[in-house]
Amino acid sequence: MKRALCACLLGLLAAAPATAFEVDLEHMIWDRYYDHDEVVAVLEAMHAAHPELTRLESLGRSEEGRDIWCLTVTNRRTGADTQKPGVYADGAIHGNEIQATEVCLYLAWQLLDKYGEWDRITELVDTRAFYIVPMVNVDSRARFFTDPGGFDIGRSARVPHDDDRDGLCDEDDYDDLDGDGRILQMRVRDPYGTHKTDPEDPRVTVAIEPGEQAEWRLLGREGLDNDGDGRVNEDTPGFLDLNRNWGFLWQPGYVQEGSGDYPFSARGTRAVADFLWAHPNVCFGFNFHNYGGMFLRGPGSALSPSLPPGDIKVYDFLGEEGERIVPGYRYLVSGTDLYTTHGDFDEWLYQCLGVYAFVTELSMGSDAAYRGHGDEPNGEDGELWSRRPTLVERQKFNDALMAGEMFSDWKPFRHPTYGDIEIGGWRTFTTRLPPEFLLPQTLHRNAMYVIWTATQAPRLSLEIIGTQDLGGGLKRVRARAVNAGAMPTLSEHARGKSILPLDAFTLEGDGLTVHGGGVLLDRDFGTVDPVRHHPARVPTWVDGFSTREVQWIVSGSGKARITYAGAKCGTRSADINLP
Ligand SMILES: [Ca+2]
Ligand SMILES: [Ca+2]
Ligand SMILES: [Ca+2]
Ligand SMILES: [Ca+2]
Ligand SMILES: [Zn+2]
């Protein structure tokens, strides 16, 4: 009977389509991109294989009804996730930046695969919580793999928007004219145009120099004037940029393009915000994007207040280590080193929730470099990252390393408006995405940097310094909280703006009366910053790589408990017995 059942099952398996994706967590392959269904299958498999170390939940549904998944990784046997310092990581808030999802997926896999094998990871999964949301803009990332849309389409959330104010939303999308499954470029022969064929490579169309003879006029992405208004592809799906839709210094569309009708108007933004509001234990957030090789922090604009010095020190310490763990990437300030943005995620995290955060721009132009020692020098500062390869160099890379698969050669097409044109150009998976053979290093280095950052979240221990009989029935109790992580238990900004309550250092005991208490300013002279009311509870915080000492004056005797509790560092307790 059993054998018959097995044979039957085998028969079913054999009948399954050969292309069906089966997750094999033991032998995961990382030099490939995973599409929406595959990412979900990997998340489900990780949860099924490690139910005690993971929680898989949908934070909400997207505009097109897809779940926005969050995988929490922590060892539940060592305590609830909310009682541990949390590190948040998400990807594909811009849906076309698909390698951001792969980093998140790899991070989760690394934490689970190495749990019990690598001591650092075991300890982190026991003592910290990782919140991983691989696909924030889940609709556009899913469509990146299925629609012919190409790279340009997937940044926006799928929120209908009337780009050209004609009363219709999304009525003139790109069109796959030649039915090859791709949206490429269009060009038409025109001696009065703007471009010519590159003499070095006939596939490349370059701008003419002043006075040169033109050969081509560029017509933009493949498409038609669907609504007959005299413009081609003027109202493509969206536009709402999920990373301009957050509630700190949000600006309307005429200041910040793509910001949405109001903050948190997109489902993905709102779903992640609700989750983070409910998880004040999160200390650090990574928001993965896809181009430039950068760890970006705020301020993002001149409107944004500058950071207090204590927080800059923390950021500098973390960012400089990032530059070592991921060589070539730069730790930068987004508003001054890059460009102005309003209403983006990392600023909201820092300014409104008191969470340190980086936008990580994953890939570098040098990923697709075709250049040797003797070739022309690199960027102005001599660094590879600052100079993108020229289009001719990209073609040489394409030929030498990708067998020419990155580019579709120009082909003639009869266009109803433009007449005889040519369609061709760079394919979807080649713009700002590393070729798959380069993915594993990008994923591993960036995931390991998240893991290192988690080691620098508040790492608290509690010490009893001692008790002393002062005579007259009074006793002195001293205790110390030690933070071995670089991050303070509360950021300087969070303390200064009362974003979260201060942590509480408390002394409790049935047989005790606490007469005085406060932070110990000088241990030798016994100077104390006294708490005016309820001296048993001393509100405070502990800086990174630092200690906080408190002192209480009590009468009575018996068992007592000293506790340090904070939103971002969990709770530590120690018992004492007063004679
Ligand atoms: Ca319209
Ligand atoms: Ca096409
Ligand atoms: Ca049109
Ligand atoms: Ca169109
Ligand atoms: Zn982006």
Mean per-residue pLDDT, 79-105? 97
Q: How does DSSP classify residue 24?
A: -
pLDDT, one tens digit per residue, over 330-363 is 999 999 988 899 999 999 999 999 999 999 999 8
Going from the Cα of 355 to the center of ligand 5, the distance in angstroms, rounded, reads 20
Counting ligands in written order, which one lies closest to the CA of residue 178? 2
Q: Which residues surround ligand 4, an ion (CB under 5 A)?
A: 172, 175, 223-224, 226, 233
Counting ligands in written order, which one lies closest to the CA of residue 174? 4
Query: pLDDT confidence of 21, banded at 50, 70, 90?
Result: confident
Which ranges of 457-509 would DSSP assign to H, the alpha helix?
492-496
> Does 84 have pLDDT greater than 80?
yes
Instruction: Quote the pLDDT of residue 172.
Output: 95
Amino acid occupying residue 87:
V
* Least confident residue range of 207-211, 392-396, 468-472, 536-540: 392-396
> Does 270 have pLDDT greater than 80?
yes
Q: Which two tokens stand for residue 249?
A: 């210094």
Query: pLDDT confidence of 378, banded at 50, 70, 90?
Result: low
> Does 124 have pLDDT greater than 90?
yes
Report the distance separating Cα 459 and Cα 486, nearest Å: 9
Q: Is the pTM of this model over 0.95?
A: no
Going from the Cα of 419 to the center of ligand 3, the distance in angstroms, rounded, reads 17
Going from the Cα of 163 to the center of ligand 1, the distance in angstroms, rounded, reads 5
Going from the Cα of 215 to the center of ligand 5, the distance in angstroms, rounded, reads 34
Report the distance separating Cα 268 and Cα 439, nearest Å: 26
Q: How does DSSP classify residue 198?
A: -
DSSP string covering 260-297: -SSTT-SHHHHHHHHHHHT-TTEEEEEEEE-SSSEEEE
Q: Specify the residue for token string 């370059």.
A: 206
Instruction: Quote the pLDDT of residue 169.
Output: 95
Q: Is 9 exposed, middle or buried (0-12, 13-18, 19+ CB in 10 A)?
A: exposed
Counting ligands in written order, which one lies closest to the CA of residue 177? 2
Counting ligands in written order, which one lies closest to the CA of residue 228? 3
Whether the bond between 299 and the residue before it is cis, its omega within 30 degrees of 0, is yes
Going from the Cα of 385 to the center of ligand 4, the distance in angstroms, rounded, reads 36
Task: State CA 189 to chain mean position distance.
Answer: 44
Going from the Cα of 158 to the center of ligand 5, the distance in angstroms, rounded, reads 16
Amino acid occupying residue 172:
D
**3-class secondary structure, 575:** strand
Of the candidates 313, 310, 385, 315, the one whose C-alpha atom is nearest the C-alpha of residue 347 is 315
Amino acid occupying residue 235:
D
Going from the Cα of 421 to the center of ligand 4, the distance in angstroms, rounded, reads 16
> Does 46 have pLDDT greater than 60?
yes
Going from the Cα of 84 to the center of ligand 5, the distance in angstroms, rounded, reads 29
Instruction: Quote the pLDDT of residue 447.
Output: 98
* Least confident residue range of 74-88, 145-159, 256-270, 399-413: 145-159
Q: Can you give the length of the chain in residues?
A: 579
Going from the Cα of 221 to the center of ligand 4, the distance in angstroms, rounded, reads 9
Instruction: Quote the pLDDT of residue 180.
Output: 93
3-state secondary structure 126-190: HHCEEEEECCCCHHHHHHHHHCCCCHHHCCCCCCCCCCCCCCCCCCECCCCCCCCCCCCEEEEEC
Going from the Cα of 171 to the center of ligand 4, the distance in angstroms, rounded, reads 8
Query: pLDDT confidence of 513, banded at 50, 70, 90?
Result: very high
* 56 close to 260: Cβ distance less than 8 angstroms: no
Instruction: Quote the pLDDT of residue 150.
Output: 57
Q: Specify the residue for token string 């208490």.
A: 517
Going from the Cα of 364 to the center of ligand 2, the distance in angstroms, rounded, reads 27
Query: pLDDT confidence of 151, banded at 50, 70, 90?
Result: low
Q: How many CA atoms lie within 13 A of 73 on its CB side?
A: 30
Q: Which residues surround ligand 3, an ion (CB under 5 A)?
A: 172, 225, 227, 229, 231, 234
Q: Specify the residue for token string 């003797």.
A: 374
Going from the Cα of 372 to the center of ligand 3, the distance in angstroms, rounded, reads 46
Going from the Cα of 169 to the center of ligand 1, the distance in angstroms, rounded, reads 5
Going from the Cα of 174 to the center of ligand 3, the distance in angstroms, rounded, reads 10
Report the distance separating Cα 516 and Cα 10, nearest Å: 74
Going from the Cα of 435 to the center of ligand 2, the distance in angstroms, rounded, reads 21
Counting ligands in written order, which one lies closest to the CA of residue 227? 3
Which residues of 379-456 form beta strands (DSSP E)? 407-415, 419-426
Going from the Cα of 334 to the center of ligand 1, the distance in angstroms, rounded, reads 32
Which ranges of 16-146 would DSSP assign to H, the alpha helix?
36-49, 99-113, 119-127, 138-146
Query: pLDDT confidence of 8, banded at 50, 70, 90?
Result: very low
Instruction: Quote the pLDDT of residue 299.
Output: 96
pLDDT, one tens digit per residue, over 227-249 is 999 999 999 998 999 999 999 99
**3-class secondary structure, 54:** strand
Instruction: Quote the pLDDT of residue 371.
Output: 78
> Does 280 have pLDDT greater than 70?
yes
Q: Cα dihedral sign for 136, 100, 283, 498?
A: negative
Residue 217, C-beta contacts closer than 8 angstroms, at least 6 positions apart? 187, 188, 189, 190, 192, 193, 194, 195
Amino acid occupying residue 286:
F
> Does 303 have pLDDT greater than 50?
yes
Instruction: Quote the pLDDT of residue 17.
Output: 47
How far are the Cα atoms of 100, 152, 376 from residue 426, in angstroms, in the given order?
21, 12, 25
Instruction: Quote the pLDDT of residue 376.
Output: 62
Counting ligands in written order, which one lies closest to the CA of residue 141? 5
Residue 167, C-beta contacts closer than 8 angstroms, at least 6 positions apart? none
DSSP string covering 373-385: TTSPP-STTS-GG
Going from the Cα of 227 to the center of ligand 1, the distance in angstroms, rounded, reads 9
Counting ligands in written order, which one lies closest to the CA of residue 154? 5
Report the distance separating Cα 47 and Cα 23, nearest Å: 12
pLDDT, one tens digit per residue, over 544-578 is 999 999 999 999 999 999 999 999 999 999 999 99
> Does 133 have pLDDT greater than 90?
yes
Report the distance separating Cα 301 and Cα 295, nearest Å: 16
Residue 49, C-beta contacts closer than 8 angstroms, at least 6 positions apart? 25, 112
Counting ligands in written order, which one lies closest to the CA of residue 186? 2
Mean per-residue pLDDT, 31-39? 97
Cα torsion 30, 35, 38, 43 to 10°: value is: 80
pLDDT, one tens digit per residue, over 457-503 is 999 999 999 999 999 999 999 999 999 999 999 999 999 999 999 99
Going from the Cα of 159 to the center of ligand 1, the distance in angstroms, rounded, reads 13
- Please work out, in degrees rounded to the nearest 5, the angle formed at the alpha carbon of residue 37 by the alpha carbons of 31 and 38: 30
> Does 380 have pLDDT greater than 50?
no
Instruction: Quote the pLDDT of residue 490.
Output: 98
Mean pLDDT across the chain: 92
* 470 close to 477: Cβ distance less than 8 angstroms: no
Going from the Cα of 184 to the center of ligand 2, the distance in angstroms, rounded, reads 6
Counting ligands in written order, which one lies closest to the CA of residue 93? 5
Label residues 78-108 b or e (16+ Cβ within 10 Å = b).
eeebbebbbbbbbbbbbbbbbbbbbbbbbbb
Report the distance separating Cα 284 and Cα 317, nearest Å: 14
Going from the Cα of 183 to the center of ligand 1, the distance in angstroms, rounded, reads 20
Counting ligands in written order, which one lies closest to the CA of residue 287? 5
Going from the Cα of 169 to the center of ligand 2, the distance in angstroms, rounded, reads 23
Instruction: Quote the pLDDT of residue 16.
Output: 44
Residue 216, C-beta contacts closer than 8 angstroms, at least 6 positions apart? 187, 188, 189, 190, 193, 194, 195, 196, 197, 205
> Does 326 have pLDDT greater than 90?
yes
Counting ligands in written order, which one lies closest to the CA of residue 235? 1
Going from the Cα of 168 to the center of ligand 1, the distance in angstroms, rounded, reads 4
pLDDT, one tens digit per residue, over 160-192 is 999 999 999 999 999 999 999 999 999 999 999
Report the distance separating Cα 534 and Cα 163, nearest Å: 59
Report the distance separating Cα 88 and Cα 277, nearest Å: 12
> Does 6 have pLDDT greater than 50?
no
